[in-house]
């Protein structure tokens, strides 16, 4: 039942629910996650600070525990978090290639029994697998929330980098002035400033790793999954990976690569399942190609089948729906007797045109409420579905109407359907 409650909870409440469940067998005062497949907050903390003198735990401190933990399993010991030494239990899940780390700051030093560690590991694997499923087959609402969260995080990091970088660079310039007295104090201050700069840069780099993926690595993930599908069906796979001139080493936004993988896989399934292949059609082959342009990724899916694939078959597999939040386009060319070619174009950045997705202005909870509105549900039903009060629902509805620039709930619901959040 704990597993069911975890999956039913909104993504924003997963860590709090997990902490509540684990508290019964693994008492802890704080819990932190570092999971690249979490759409909203890859690094998140629930609980109080480990020590009176310590500040909040940082993502860099949690990342430093990763080498101590097996690829899949747990590690127990003492670690320095928020400036103090504390007993911790760290759990890693290997379900996602980017890694998913859960760290519990425990209230005691005694080892956690193996059966409790295994139960905690199973729950963490479950949460990680659920999030990975949402990332691999993203819903439009999740993509919109992910892009909004990523944009807000990028702005915050840019502001922090500029402010702290300018201040610390100025401090270093002054402290390195040889006309100043007290060499020992100057040396110590320089060391502190250098350490602060290194910490700031590592935070920026960590966020970049979680939010971006190399184009070549994403294509390789795609081909691994397609080989399993096509080999079992006796279908040949031809590849046109991005080369150096096509941007194979280019870092792409994670929501772009996740969408590209999802729509290509859905298109391949449509080619296999929604066309009739006769016994005399010869060997069935599917070609997958990627090209990275200055502004967009073009994925091409082509086969030598009967050429009877319809646009409706792709819509039924929600290809167009998945492309919509990112402003993507689909072009289908099916020639009976010759085969089918599907081009999928995905912009690499948010559109600056007046057709920019208005839902990016909404927060994660507001998107959840909007999704319920689009289903025609009343405030009371929304409150029950999202486990919040009816007055909170009214507050979110008012904020949604204001941010979207509409005057009624019906107009907000219409926008949700238009931009794929319903």
Map residue 178 onto helix, strand or coil.
Answer: coil
**Long-range CB pairs of 15-24, under 8 A, 24+ apart, other chains included:** 15/44, 15/46, 16/46, 18/102, 18/123, 18/124, 18/127, 19/46, 19/47, 21/123, 22/104, 22/120, 22/123
355 located within any domain: no
**Helix-, strand-, coil-residue percentages of the chain, each rounded to 5:** 50, 20, 30
Q: How confident is the model at residue 5 (pLDDT cuts 50, 70, 90)?
A: confident
- Stretch among 108-122, 176-190, 331-345, 361-375 having the lowest mean pLDDT: 176-190
352 located within any domain: no
| Residue 217 burial class via C-beta count within 10 angstroms: exposed 0-12, middle 13-18, buried 19 and up | middle
- Return the pLDDT at 351: 46
CATH number of the domain to which 404 belongs: 1.10.10.10
Q: Distance (Å, rounded) from C-alpha 80 to C-alpha 44?
A: 18
User: Residue 136 above 80 pLDDT?
Assistant: no
Q: How confident is the model at residue 37 (pLDDT cuts 50, 70, 90)?
A: low
121 located within any domain: yes
Q: How confident is the model at residue 52 (pLDDT cuts 50, 70, 90)?
A: very low
Residues 249 and 161 in one domain: no
The helix (run of H) or strand (run of E) holding residue 252 is strand 251-253
- Stretch among 11-20, 39-48, 248-257, 412-421 having the lowest mean pLDDT: 39-48
Residues 158 and 131 in one domain: no
Token pair of 154 as six digits: 């990028």
Residues 9 and 83 in one domain: yes
Residues 112 and 64 in one domain: yes
Chain segment 102-129, per-residue pLDDT in tens: 999 999 889 999 999 999 999 988 888 8
Neighbours of 356 (CB within 10 A): 12
Which residues form the domain of 68? 2-136
Residues 207 and 219 in one domain: no
Residues 56 and 117 in one domain: yes
Residues 343 and 223 in one domain: yes
User: Residue 354 above 50 pLDDT?
Assistant: no
- Return the pLDDT at 287: 94
Q: What is the DSSP string of 386-401?
A: HT--HHHHHHHHHHHH
- Return the pLDDT at 341: 94
Average pLDDT in the 230-252 region?
Answer: 82
- Return the pLDDT at 53: 45
Average pLDDT in the 184-194 region?
Answer: 71
Choosing from 347, 379, 404, the residue where a domain stops is 347
Helices (H) and strands (E) in the chain, counts: 14, 12
Residues 23 and 79 in one domain: yes
C-alpha 273: how far from its chain's center?
A: 30
353 located within any domain: no
Residues 99 and 207 in one domain: no
CATH number of the domain to which 293 belongs: 3.30.565.10
DSSP label at residue 247: T
User: How many domains is the chain partitioned into structurally?
Assistant: 4
Token pair of 183 as six digits: 């060499």
CB 363 within 8 Å of CB 393: no
Choosing from 103, 136, 169, the residue where a domain stops is 136
354 located within any domain: no
CB 301 within 8 Å of CB 273: no
What share of the chain has pLDDT > 90, as a percent?
A: 15
CATH number of the domain to which 95 belongs: 3.30.450.40
Residues 238 and 307 in one domain: yes
User: Residue 373 above 70 pLDDT?
Assistant: yes
Closest CA to 250 of 197, 213, 199: 213
Choosing from 312, 347, 382, the residue where a domain stops is 347
Residues 241 and 120 in one domain: no
Residues 130 and 247 in one domain: no
Q: How confident is the model at residue 238 (pLDDT cuts 50, 70, 90)?
A: very high
124 located within any domain: yes
CB 83 within 8 Å of CB 55: yes
- Return the pLDDT at 80: 87
- Return the pLDDT at 353: 41
Chain segment 60-96, per-residue pLDDT in tens: 788 888 889 887 778 999 998 887 889 999 998 877 6
- Return the pLDDT at 143: 56
């Amino acid at each position: 039942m704990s597993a069911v409650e975890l999956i039913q909870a909104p993504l924003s409440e997963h860590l709090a629910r997990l902490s509540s469940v684990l508290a019964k067998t693994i008492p802890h005062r704080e819990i932190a996650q570092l999971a690249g497949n979490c759409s909203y907050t890859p690094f998140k903390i629930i609980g109080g600070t480990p020590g009176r003198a310590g500040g909040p735990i940082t993502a860099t401190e949690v990342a430093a525990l990763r080498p101590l933990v097996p690829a899949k399993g747990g590690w127990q010991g003492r670690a320095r978090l928020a400036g103090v030494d504390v007993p911790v239990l760290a759990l890693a899940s290997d379900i996602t290639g980017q890694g998913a780390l859960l760290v519990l700051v425990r209230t005691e030093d005694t080892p956690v029994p193996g059966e409790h560690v295994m139960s905690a590991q199973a729950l963490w694997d479950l949460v990680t697998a659920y999030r990975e499923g949402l990332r691999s087959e993203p819903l439009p609402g999740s993509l919109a929330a992910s892009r909004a969260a990523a944009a807000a995080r990028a702005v915050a990091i840019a502001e922090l980098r500029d402010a702290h970088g300018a201040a610390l660079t100025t401090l270093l310039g002054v402290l390195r002035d040889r006309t100043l007295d007290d060499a020992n104090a100057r040396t110590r201050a320089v060391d502190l400033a250098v350490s602060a700069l290194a910490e700031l840069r590592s935070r920026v780099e960590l966020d970049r790793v979680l939010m971006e993926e190399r184009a070549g690595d994403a294509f390789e993930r795609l081909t691994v999954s397609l080989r399993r599908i096509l080999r079992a069906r006796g279908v040949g796979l031809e590849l046109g990976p991005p080369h150096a001139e096509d941007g194979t080493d280019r870092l792409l936004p994670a929501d772009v690569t996740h969408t590209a993988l999802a729509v290509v896989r859905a298109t391949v399934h449509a080619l296999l399942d929604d066309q009739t292949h006769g016994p005399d059609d010869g060997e069935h082959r599917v070609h997958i190609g990627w090209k990275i342009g200055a502004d967009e990724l073009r994925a091409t899916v082509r086969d030598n089948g009967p050429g009877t694939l319809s646009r409706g078959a792709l819509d039924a597999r929600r290809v167009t729906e998945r492309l919509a939040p990112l402003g993507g386009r689909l072009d289908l060319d099916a020639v009976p007797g010759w085969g089918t070619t599907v081009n999928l174009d995905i912009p690499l950045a948010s559109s600056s045109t007046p057709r920019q997705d208005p839902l990016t202005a909404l927060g994660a909870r507001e998107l959840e409420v909007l999704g319920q509105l689009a289903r025609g549900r009343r405030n009371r039903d929304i409150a029950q579905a999202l486990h919040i009060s009816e007055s909170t629902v009214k507050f979110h509805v008012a904020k949604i109407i204001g941010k979207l620039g509409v005057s009624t709930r019906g107009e907000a619901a219409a926008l949700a359907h238009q931009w794929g959040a319903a």
